A and B are shown apart, each in its own frame.
Chain A
């Protein structure tokens, strides 16, 4: 699965480890929430970094107390129209101040890159064949933003009322 990190195709240093598969001795790994909870102490002691994968029925709160130990939080889109991960991403960034990688996995479609970026995703596992140009086009198609979100784009409100508004 190609990885777009901050809009650039990048080598993915992370390995997704399924729940029933043994965790490799070295190298960065992403594990499921259940695994994380069961093997938390051992995983924290691990030399190489660890990330956690949240399904769409998990919430950012499920992992909020452990964020200092995590290099990646991967949020799943089982289907593109399951929009729960957008809220989870914003909560990770805005409420819990998480600065590590927030990665979109699953049914990640080009026409949603912009929404994902705005909600705080900085890494996307995309369909085979997607290019950096596709990313540029998708995230650059709209340049007017009414809502404050987890990105640093200036909102319409801010542009209209530079002094008055916060966002």
Chain B
């Protein structure tokens, strides 16, 4: 993975000292909370319902075991012993003291981490495919480009005060695992007819109260032009994005208002002026960054496929886990292992300090000391020998991260909701837990098959409900929590936004409603159809009939 050079290291160190000075000025009363707010937000520090919350960037989800141990240490020393992995491959600590934050950031800098721009109206954490570098279906390692973009985006002098926060995802695989189509900019690695690697650039995607699917602004961009092209997009957005209304300030609204053709014309005009300037990427820099992501020394020894097969035969529980949580690695004899952070009764994405330490040890033992965080709030070991899978499974089971539910209904995305968040209108964690309980039977989950359920506690959609096969949105009416259900959303390359099926359900009824949707699907599905396939074939009608029988009767 990427290791800072002395320049990268110096920058995060200086940023810590700069923030220490800002906190000192605040603590001494030299600046007001109003003046301090933008400064702390440039460093990922929020005031939530109960305390300060610090969001730490995990660039494109990559963590070393050393870094994860440091996060465990921070959880134990400064927080209440746990952290929360987010849908943007970050981690949040929810119970911090303001005066501790400079020390926390100094500790993070020791292990090449920071919280720069994890909030505020600038570039946020750059995300990428959690299977980068090991996926069998990959064109090229997306992390190289995510790191190059990360550096360009840090403390950008021109784009630190954009109309709104700005999210970029990079995917190297046609089977997108980053929800690229729902980012302000999606960078999609692609080969042209001459066989050269470059990028398709898509813009204007997003969720929130106006969900939109990103559109192509450039079919093929040569690799050396990546940063100048991004800078051209940003310039048009910085000048023309709306600043009069926070709900209309995202790039997606500008793209929608201008139309993609006009937007493209403006971007290309701007780009022509700067493309041959100093932003042109030198091959030496691409090579330098790429070298950091060279594959670890896989043993080329013959796959111990037989031992793996025997273990699956002897332990049905292991076999089930291997079926759901283990993915294909491009190197024969190796596998990709997903650690489910969605056991029953725990908020999705939470991990305790003890669990983090244990995961770090297991990563050292089984996966070259490397861990990845997914936007679906799980962890990944990207390089596990098939021969080690059984032992690793046993060890993960002991710490509660071996629930065999990846991509099943138990593997929900869920925002912190009203239990923590100052923006939320409704609780989301308790709903996730009640749904988890209702579908606790793992055989049933497996029978239901791939089903992405995503819950947001407010319209800001941090829980990605718009792109859930089943989406749940918490709303508040007259002091009571209600939950609106959407169906058929999908974040992949064949992206769709979920359809609202009808009036919202009370907190008491929402779990029954989810069950009614699932039962309808199970009854109507054809052989091999996922929930999404059945929904696409039949539309919302059969689900509505089941969810709102009185209404349908009255209409008939």
Using a CB–CB distance below 8 Å, which chain A residues touch chain B?
59, 80-84, 86-88, 90, 95, 109, 111-112, 114-116, 118-119, 137, 141-149, 155-157, 159-161, 164-167
**Known interface pairs A82-B243, A87-B235, A160-B7. Does A167 touch B161 (Cβ–Cβ under 8 Å)?**
no
Identify 14 residue pairs between A and B in the complex whose beta-carbon atoms are under 8 Å apart, listed by A's number: A80-B161, A83-B158, A83-B161, A84-B238, A115-B155, A144-B11, A146-B152, A147-B158, A148-B279, A155-B278, A160-B7, A160-B285, A165-B284, A167-B277
Chain B residues within 8 Å of chain A by Cβ, number: 40
Q: Which residues of B contact A166 (CB under 8 A)?
A: 277-278, 280
The reply to whether the CB of B121 lies closer than 8 angstroms to some CB of chain A is yes
- CB pair B22 A111 closer than 8 Å: yes
CA distance A109 to B39 in the complex (A): 11
**A-contacting residues, B269-288, CB 8 Å:** 273, 277-280, 282-285, 288
Q: Which residues of A contact B273 (CB under 8 A)?
A: 95
Which of A109, A115, A144, A164: most chain B Cβ within 10 A? A144
Which of B10, B22, B161: most chain A Cβ within 10 A? B161
A-B CB proximity, top 6 nearest: A167-B278, A83-B161, A118-B157, A148-B278, A144-B11, A164-B282
Chain B nearest CB from A112 CB (Å) reads 8
Query: Told that A119-B158, A161-B284 touch, could you supply 8 new A-B pairs with CB distance under 8 A?
Result: A86-B161, A115-B157, A141-B18, A142-B11, A147-B152, A149-B158, A164-B282, A165-B284
The reply to whether the CB of B15 lies closer than 8 angstroms to some CB of chain A is yes
- CB pair A81 B121 closer than 8 Å: yes
CA distance A118 to B195 in the complex (A): 39
- CB pair B7 A156 closer than 8 Å: yes
Q: Which chain A residue lies CB-closest to B151?
A: A146
Chain A nearest CB from B29 CB (Å) reads 15
Chain B nearest CB from A25 CB (Å) reads 37
Q: Interface on chain A toward B: helix, strand, loop, or mixed SS?
A: loop
Q: Which residues of B contact A145 (CB under 8 A)?
A: 155
The reply to whether the CB of B556 lies closer than 8 angstroms to some CB of chain A is no
**Known interface pairs A82-B161, A146-B151, A146-B152. Does A160 touch B38 (Cβ–Cβ under 8 Å)?**
no
Q: Which residues of B contact A80 (CB under 8 A)?
A: 38, 161
CA distance A167 to B288 in the complex (A): 17
CA distance A56 to B155 in the complex (A): 21
Chain B nearest CB from A52 CB (Å) reads 18
Q: Which residues of B contact A137 (CB under 8 A)?
A: 21
Q: Which chain B residue lies CB-closest to A167?
A: B278
Give the residue of B39, B159, B284 whose beta carbon is less than 8 angstroms from that of A83: B159
Q: Which chain B residue lies CB-closest to A59?
A: B239
CA distance A82 to B1 in the complex (A): 36
**Known interface pairs A119-B158, A146-B151. Does A164 touch B39 (Cβ–Cβ under 8 Å)?**
no
Q: Which residues of B contact A81 (CB under 8 A)?
A: 38, 121, 161
CA distance A149 to B162 in the complex (A): 17
**Known interface pairs A86-B238, A142-B14, A157-B285. Does A165 touch B278 (Cβ–Cβ under 8 Å)?**
yes
**A-contacting residues, B140-165, CB 8 Å:** 151-152, 154-162
CA distance A95 to B158 in the complex (A): 15
- CB pair A83 B18 closer than 8 Å: no
- CB pair A156 B151 closer than 8 Å: yes
Chain A nearest CB from B15 CB (Å) reads 7
- CB pair B282 A161 closer than 8 Å: yes
Q: Which residues of B contact A82 (CB under 8 A)?
A: 161, 243
Q: Which residues of B contact A161 (CB under 8 A)?
A: 282, 284-285, 288
CA distance A86 to B496 in the complex (A): 36
Q: Which residues of A contact B239 (CB under 8 A)?
A: 59, 84, 87-88
Q: Which residues of B contact A111 (CB under 8 A)?
A: 22, 38-39
Type the 1/0 row for B1-17, where 1 means its CB is closer than 8 Å to any CB of A: 00001011011001101
Q: Which residues of A contact B21 (CB under 8 A)?
A: 137, 141
Chain B nearest CB from A77 CB (Å) reads 9
Q: Which residues of A contact B284 (CB under 8 A)?
A: 160-161, 164-165
Chain A nearest CB from B223 CB (Å) reads 15
Chain B nearest CB from A49 CB (Å) reads 28
Q: Which residues of A contact B5 (CB under 8 A)?
A: 160
Chain A nearest CB from B34 CB (Å) reads 11
Q: Which chain B residue lies CB-closest to A85?
A: B161
Chain B nearest CB from A56 CB (Å) reads 8
CA distance A113 to B50 in the complex (A): 33
Q: Which chain B residue lies CB-closest to A137?
A: B21
Give the residue of A84, A95, A114 whose beta carbon is less than 8 angstroms from that of B157: A114
CA distance A55 to B292 in the complex (A): 45
- CB pair B161 A159 closer than 8 Å: no
Q: Which chain A residue lies CB-closest to B121?
A: A81
Q: Which residues of A contact B10 (CB under 8 A)?
A: 143-144
Q: Which residues of A contact B7 (CB under 8 A)?
A: 144, 156, 159-160
Q: Which residues of B contact A148 (CB under 8 A)?
A: 277-279
**Known interface pairs A80-B161, A83-B160. Does A146 touch B155 (Cβ–Cβ under 8 Å)?**
yes
